[in-house]
Amino acid sequence: MGAQPDYAAAWREFRKRRLIFWAIFLGYIPGVLIIWIAIGLPVSALTGIKPDYFFYPIALCWLFMFLIASLRVGLFRCPRCHKWFFATWWYHNPFARKCAHCGLPKWADSDSTP
């Protein structure tokens, strides 16, 4: 019998991607406000430019980071079949508990034998 593959490294990568996604998602409002207050208000006081002009680029950059993070989580590849874990060309479920292609359960450490 051959050795069972170990999927732990792939799941650690998925956890890291998911953690980054949630940090960006939950940090949006406080992060943008803190950066806007730290950069926009002092610069506007020195230059006379409206502080709102600094808010929008900061918010757009944060939204771009959110887009990249959500794509990295959504396009995670299955450790077994190396296809998208959460999607096929016509189906997408970000809450899937098993691979959309091969049926590998989420968080499985190796191939289980019945």
Token pair listed for 62: 């944060």
Does the global pTM surpass 0.85?
Answer: no
pLDDT per residue of the chain (114 residues) written in tens, 0 to 9: 455 677 889 999 999 999 999 999 999 989 888 888 888 777 777 777 777 777 788 889 999 999 999 999 999 999 999 999 999 888 888 889 999 989 899 998 877 644
Q: Please name the residue that has the structure tokens 């939950």.
A: 26
Are 44 and 51 within 8 A, CB to CB?
yes
In one-letter notation, the amino acid at residue 27 is: G
Q: How far apart are CA 20 and CA 23, in angstroms?
A: 5
Token pair listed for 52: 């709102």
Q: How far apart are CA 99 and CA 91, in angstroms?
A: 12
Element (H, E) at 57: helix 52-74
